[in-house]
């Protein structure tokens, strides 16, 4: 079969920031399809210069409908697979499925985190024939072999040996097209921003079970690890054959197994040192002098440190992030300072069961830590997470969800302790570090936001903070 894999255009709220990574997930599925004898093409509709307003404060960016339609007709696929990785992509997938369905006769399939979290949503609203749950490298080829007798919801299957998966079809990726999307955080090192980069995984899965996380839907709870030598062989190929100079670790929990992480870093340092960041963050509990030294030698640009909360009650009893102790956070930051390793840390507020006092503990800790970049966000109830199920059961979130508004700068959860407006405004106030006052004009708030952050990656977030603060303070409130 000739199979076309498509990533949808970006649908985002006007205040949200969205960066585009090279679609390594689709390249991985493409490798599985090729191994099964299929011909594969890839269309990333996040790329392109087309922009339009869709209403309700939502913007669309990427490839236009006419361009997508022309590409599908040109390729004449026998099957099409749609990537639905994030909940904010759901409306884009609905529109994309309706657009491409009349253009070919074979099966139309969706997969990814968001599709896995709520397959019925897509099957009820679109002409999609089937949704593949979990990892698609082996499941999609099996589905095509069984079509048209295959199930509409293809069950999950996790291959225990990651080395049995074919390596991603990197030749399908235009690496240069993604260079402009590299994120710049003011205060963090900016080396290797405008270079070829790609996401990689040295492991999959996470048994920790944080209540706000849904990675287990795709990757499962057991930690499955790549062989460090084989993994670095892949990095060498990326460097030598594709000119990649920076990688984003997409591991669900990169340092969960300390010895495995140490072996990966040492192998990289010896054979292929390369600039890298851990996009998903890393747990503080396994970092020590030896591991930090190896990570720095392998090319770590800065340490990503998700603190989540300044209350151990919230961490352990509400978020279920039981391995993390706050003293470990302070120890890791101190060691990084001694080794001149920059640190990016963040907390999230607004979980059911959390009090306003708990929120203040997290914001205070974040202010006190000697880190280079810090962010406070509002927890987001992503479908598929334990948090979402709790909020739905207790009526803490408005349903149906407006997927485009799922972003960590805006509260969506209202509990007996706090409102969604409170958490949004509290983060806005913290972001401005006391620069905003109750009753001041919106123009003044915007100006102070811009002066506080300057030009760069945080400007839109700063404007959002000012707008939300203005709305809340007009009611006479001051969080």
Among residues 138, 154, 170, which one ends one of the domains? 154
Q: Do 348 and 378 form a contact (C-beta atoms < 8 A)?
A: yes
- Give bridge partners of residue 86 from the DSSP assignment: none
CATH of the domain at 74: 3.40.50.2300
Mind listing the pLDDT tens digit for each residue in 47-87?
988 989 887 778 899 999 999 999 999 999 999 999 998 88
From CA 450, how far away is CA 464, in angstroms rounded? Answer: 11
Residue 367 belongs to a domain: no
Residue 16 inside a domain? The answer is yes
Q: How far apart are CA 333 and CA 313, in angstroms?
A: 21
Can you give the chain as a three-state secondary structure string? CEEEEEECCEEEECCCCCCCCCCHHHHHHHHHHHHCCCEEEEEECCCCCEEEEEECCEEEEECCHHHHHHHHHHHCCCEEEEECCCHHHHHHHHHHHHHHHHHCCCCEEEECHHHHHCHHHHHHHCCCCEEECCCCCCHHHHHHHHCCCCCCEECCCCCCCHHHCCCCCHHHCCHHHHHHHCCCCCCCCCCCCCCCEEEECCEECCCCCCCCCCCHHHHCCCCEECCHHHHHHHHHHHHHHHCCCEEEECCCCCCCCHHHHHHHHHHHHHHCCCEEEECCCCCHHHCCHHHHHHHHHHCECCEEEEEECCCHHHHHHHCCCCCCCHHHHHHHHHHHHHCCCCEEEEEEECCCCCCHHHHHHHHHHHHHCCCCEEEEEECCCCCCCHHHHHHHHHCCECCCCCHHHCCCCCCCECCCCCCHHHHHHHHHHHHCCCCCCCCCCHHHHHHHHHHHHCCCCCHHHHHHHHHHHHHHHCCCCCC
pLDDT on residue 6:
98
Residue 169 lies in a domain: no
Looking at residue 86, its pLDDT comes to 85
Domain of residue 442, residue span: 419-479
Evaluate whether residue 261 is within a structural domain: no
Q: Confirm whether 396 is domain-assigned.
A: no
Query: How many folded domains does the chain comprise?
Result: 2
Q: At which of 103, 134, 154 does a domain end?
A: 154
Residue 458 lies in a domain: yes
What's residue 475's pLDDT? 53
In a domain? residue 225: no
Query: Residue 474: its pLDDT value, please?
Result: 54
**Sign of the C-alpha dihedral, residues 344, 350, 351, 353?**
positive
Domain stops at, among 135, 154, 173? 154
Task: State residue 122's pLDDT score.
Answer: 95
87 occurs within a structural domain = yes
Which of 141, 83, 90 is closest to 112 using CA atoms?
A: 83
Question: What was the pLDDT predicted at 230?
Answer: 98
Instruction: Extract the tokens encoding 132.
Output: 């593949």
All residue ranges of the chain with pLDDT < 70 are: 14-18, 182-193, 404-409, 433-479
At 182 the pLDDT is 65
Helix axes 139-146, 24-35, angle to 10 degrees: 50
């Amino acid at each position: 079969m000739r199979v076309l894999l498509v990533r949808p255009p970006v649908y985002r709220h006007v205040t949200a920031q969205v960066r585009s990574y090279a679609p390594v997930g689709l390249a991985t599925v493409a490798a599985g399809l090729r191994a099964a004898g299929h011909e594969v093409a890839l269309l990333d509709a996040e790329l392109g210069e087309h922009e339009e307003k869709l209403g309700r404060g939502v913007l669309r960016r990427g490839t236009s409908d006419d361009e997508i339609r022309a590409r599908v007709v040109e390729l004449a696929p026998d099957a099409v697979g749609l990537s639905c990785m994030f909940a904010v992509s759901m409306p884009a997938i609905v529109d994309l499925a309706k657009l491409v369905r009349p253009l070919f006769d074979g099966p139309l399939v969706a997969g990814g985190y968001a599709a896995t979290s709520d397959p019925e949503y897509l099957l009820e609203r679109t002409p999609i024939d089937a949704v593949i749950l979990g990892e698609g490298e082996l499941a999609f080829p099996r589905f095509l072999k069984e079509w048209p007798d295959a199930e509409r919801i293809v069950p999950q299957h996790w291959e225990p040996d990651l080395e049995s998966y074919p390596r991603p079809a990197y030749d399908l990726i235009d690496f240069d097209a993604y260079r402009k999307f590299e994120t710049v955080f003011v205060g963090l090192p900016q080396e290797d921003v405008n270079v070829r980069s790609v996401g990689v995984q040295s492991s999959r899965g996470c048994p920790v079970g944080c209540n706000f996380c849904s990675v287990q839907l795709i990757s499962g709870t057991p930690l499955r690890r790549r062989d460090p030598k084989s993994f670095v062989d892949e990095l060498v190929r990326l460097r030598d054959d594709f000119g990649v100079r920076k990688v984003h670790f997409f591991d669900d929990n990169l340092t969960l197994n300390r010895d495995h992480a140490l072996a990966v870093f040492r192998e990289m340092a010896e054979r292929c040192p390369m600039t890298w960041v851990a996009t998903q963050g890393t747990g503080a509990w396994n970092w020590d002098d030896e591991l930090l030294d190896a990570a720095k030698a392998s090319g770590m640009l800065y340490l990503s440190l998700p603190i989540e909360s300044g209350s151990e009650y919230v961490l352990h009893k509400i978020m279920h992030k039981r391995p993390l102790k706050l003293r470990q956070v302070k120890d890791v930051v101190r060691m990084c300072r001694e080794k001149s390793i920059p640190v990016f840390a963040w907390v999230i507020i607004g979980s059911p069961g959390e009090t306003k006092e708990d929120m203040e503990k997290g914001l205070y800790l974040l202010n006190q830590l000697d880190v280079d970049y810090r962010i406070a966000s509002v927890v987001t109830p992503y479908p598929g997470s334990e948090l979402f199920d709790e909020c739905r059961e207790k009526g803490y979130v408005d349903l149906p969800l407006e997927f485009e508004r799922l972003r960590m700068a805006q509260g969506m959860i209202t509990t007996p302790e706090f409102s969604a407006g409170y958490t949004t405004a509290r983060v806005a106030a913290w972001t401005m570090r006391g620069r905003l006052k109750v009753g001041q004009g919106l123009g003044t708030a915007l100006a102070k936001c811009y002066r506080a952050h300057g030009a760069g990656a945080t400007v839109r977030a700063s404007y959002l903070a000012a707008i939300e603060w203005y709305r809340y303070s007009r009611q006479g409130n001051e969080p």
